[in-house]
Amino acid sequence: NASLLGILQHPDGTVLKQLQPPPRGPREQEFYNKVYDSDCCDSVLLELREYLPKYFGVWSPPTAPNDTYLKLEDVTRKFNKPCIMDVKIGQKSYDPYASAEKIQQQVSKYPLMEEIGFLVLGMRVYHVSSDSYETQNQHYGRGLTKETVKDGISKFFHNGYCLRKDAIAASIQKIEKILEWFEGQNQLNFYASSLLFVYEGSCQATTVRLSDVTLAEKRGVPKGLLSGGDILEYNNNIHVINSTENGKIEASVSKGLSKFYALHKKAYSKRHHSQLSLKVENLEQGNVWKSSTCIAQEHLNGNVIPQLEKVFCHMPAEIKESANVEVRMIDFAHVFPSNTKDEGYIYGLKNLIAVLQNILDS
């Protein structure tokens, strides 16, 4: 599937992104090398690392030493039910060296880029009610207008039950950090680059502070859990999955996630997709889910806490907050040195923040 996707999932928690043909591939590799150079002491680039997937150099398969892959952090890995959206940022998705033909092609793909400053390239949303994912491809984003872009983006944060305002608020905060970085640098301009959004789609137990003891008592939580300062509020639908089962599920599902890294999104074949769903169905029929321990109220005692930790339920609030939402910059085949602020990218970020804020306020 590497040739179809340009993306491979590595068991070590990285993704392998196949280098595009020159000049794009080498340019992206050069960008990562520059930002992640171990001798780098430029504070602008050092801060930029926070907003990128971690970079682990390049890799080639022993069988095809001329095929080069970028080895990158899999940003979706720590999530149980990752909801993923890929948004291209900027007013121009063609770079300053593009031919008239290339410019025409890019503009015709989405004439509103100049005005809106961003374009949804794809999304994958977990619907709690149906325990299934809904996927939208790039045609969805290209169909959005100034009037419908707000509803188009809010779809990403709706899980079938409710609008995930917590994830929207956290996303805004993360974009604002990236915007601050752009406002403070005038050495790089980014074209046809994307933001990857990921938030946790599964309903997890939430941590309640000790000040909420009365709430805890009303819910009949055993007193023993209060001593640590944090207690668990629980849902009846928490399943504790042991790590081997979780690994099996993750392996089969996550292959589908990382396609959002790939620039060649069109190449994601239907055949591969149906194999993927088949694999997941087989797992479910194999009772992987059903065999997992369901925690009932009376079983919430000390000895399930270690198991719960595995599924990110019992964590200090600040860790959980950061585990909840990721916003990372990806796709750097068109990054160029510059001596001015990247006004097009800044425009796109500000407009995206405004749209998200509007969804939050309404």
pLDDT for 9: 87
Q: What are the tens digits of pLDDT across the range 66-124? A: 999 999 999 999 999 999 999 999 999 999 999 999 999 999 999 999 999 999 999 99
Show the tokens assigned to 2: 């590497």
Do 336 and 73 contact (CB within 8 A), yes or no? no
Share above pLDDT 90 across residues of the chain, in percent, rounded to a whole number: 63
Q: What are the tens digits of pLDDT across the range 31-45? A: 999 999 999 999 999
In what side-by-side order are the strands of the sheet with 55-59?
Answer: 7-9, 14-18, 69-73, 55-59
Residue 293 has pLDDT above 50, yes or no: no
